[in-house]
Amino acid sequence: MKRQWEIDALRGLMLVLMTLTHLPTRLTDPLGQPFGFVSAAEGFVLLSAYVSGLVYSRLAQRQGIGAMRRAFGKRVFKVWLAQAATLAFLFTIIAGLGVRIEQPAVTNLLTYYLAQPRDAFLSGLLLVYEPPLLDILPMYIFFMLLSPWVLGFALRHGWSGVMVLSATLWAGAQFGLSEWVYGIAASHFELSVPYGEMGSFNTFGWQFLWFAGLCIGAGRQAPDAKPLRFPNWMAALAAAVALYCLVWRHFGEHGQAPFGGDAELNLLFDKWRLGPLRLVNLVALGILALRFGPGLIERLPRLHALEAMGSASLPVFCAHLVAVLLTLALYGDNQLARPVWGDALLLAGVFAWLYAVARLALWWEGRATPPVSAAN
């Protein structure tokens, strides 16, 4: 089975958008959530889950559930090593620089670590403490740990029960389920890590996106799988929703906060809980991508740089964090800290670094023409 280069290119695009969002430059705000009230994180998680469902369900069909679970376990260990290495970089080099030059962008990022270094280090390795910017991989690891059991159950009994439970947990996340569970855990296990230091992403909300992607990917492997098609009226409705959100995002008076200072209404589009209107925006974009994407792919040239970064997405993701953290340590989080030409040089250097990491990773793994894999 050949690798789907278009999926790699899309993941590469998500990594580019994440980098542009996290690097403090003049492009941070304009290119944050560029397609409406949806960020690159949603696209990256959904694509990763889709590829996981596609690959690991085929592995289960060919070699059995046990082989599928072992493959998931190897992947989890690899991602945990990447998270541990990134944490070590943050807690040593970046923390040292930040404290030495009194850089608020770093010290504010590491408030808990600087106050409780031993507890923060150990709980960071256990994926309990998740500093800002380093909270995506722990969530990814948790979903990957659950996936072999969920996928094994779904392959035997179908996806209906799984998705009903997943949707229920997502709904609970909108009404404080995570905070309630944290309160119980803190009281019974003497949990010392504050709730606000356990990552920005609400796991109960985002698991719905992961398992939806896993379900879609696994469904593509079914012997009787039919192409995903949508009636014209649905595509037209999706286009109207996507266009409305796009205009609202870029030409509304509040930018990325759709309702300005109204915190309650903004929760409807909340990124961290994966709010309901945010999901509507994401579904609309997904329908348009499936409806018009194949035609665009036939007409557009292949972007090999994006493919390379998407194919080696784990090392490239970690490399982007290294670049962002170094920039924060040296320049702070002021988006206007450099002149325009300085931003241009910074972005050129960072993306050259990411592409070099991608090529090196692919060379190291000997994958000039790799098969489809969820390993990156």
Q: What is the pLDDT of residues 86-132, one digit of tens each?
A: 999 999 999 999 999 999 999 999 999 999 999 999 999 999 999 99
State how far Cα 204 lies from the chain centre: 15
Between 296 and 134, the higher pLDDT residue:
134
- Is 70 exceeded by the pLDDT of residue 297? yes
Which tokens in the block code for residue 4? Answer: 């789907």
Residue 40 confidence (pLDDT): 94
Residue 276 confidence (pLDDT): 97
Q: What is the mean pLDDT of residues 346-374?
A: 80
- Is 60 exceeded by the pLDDT of residue 214? yes
Please tell me the pTM assigned to this model: 0.91
Q: What is the pLDDT of residues 244-282, one digit of tens each?
A: 999 999 998 888 899 988 999 999 999 999 999 999 999
Residue 369 confidence (pLDDT): 47
Residue 345 confidence (pLDDT): 97
Q: What is the mean pLDDT of residues 25-53?
A: 93
- Is 50 exceeded by the pLDDT of residue 20? yes
- Angle of helix 5-22 relative to helix 313-331, nearest 10 degrees? 10
Q: What is the mean pLDDT of the chain?
A: 91
Q: What is the dihedral of CA 105, 111, 112, 116, to 10 degrees?
A: 120
Query: 3-state secondary structure string, the chain?
Result: CECCHHHHHHHHHHHHHHHHHHCCCCCHHHHCCCCCCCCHHHHHHHHHHHHHHHHHHHHHHHHCHHHHHHHHHHHHHHHHHHHHHHHHHHHHHHHHHHHHCCCHHHHCCCHHHHHCHHHHHHHHHCCCCECCCCCHHHHHHHHHHHHHHHHHHHHHHCCHHHHHHHHHHHHHHCCCHHHHHHHHHHHHHCCCCCHHHECCCCHHHHHHHHHHHHHHHHHCCCCCCCCCCCCHHHHHHHHHHHHHHHHHHHHCCCCCCCCCCCHHHHHHHCCCCCCHHHHHHHHHHHHHHHHHHHHHHHHCCCCHHHHHHHHCHHHHHHHHHHHHHHHHHHHCCCCCCCCHHHHHHHHHHHHHHHHHHHHHHHHHCCCCCCECCCCC
- Is 90 exceeded by the pLDDT of residue 202? yes
- Is 90 exceeded by the pLDDT of residue 230? no
- Sorted by where each begins, the domain ranges of the chain are 5-364
Residue 223 confidence (pLDDT): 67
- Is 80 exceeded by the pLDDT of residue 296? yes
Between 365 and 262, the higher pLDDT residue:
262
Residue 367 binned pLDDT confidence (cut-offs 50, 70, 90)? low
**Cα–Cα distance for residue pair 182/193, rounded to 1 Å:** 10
Radius of gyration over every alpha carbon of the chain, rounded to an integer in angstroms: 21
**Cα–Cα nearest to 129, from 144, 109, 99, 143:** 109
Residue 371 binned pLDDT confidence (cut-offs 50, 70, 90)? very low
Count of Cβ atoms closer than 10 Å to residue 62 Cβ: 9
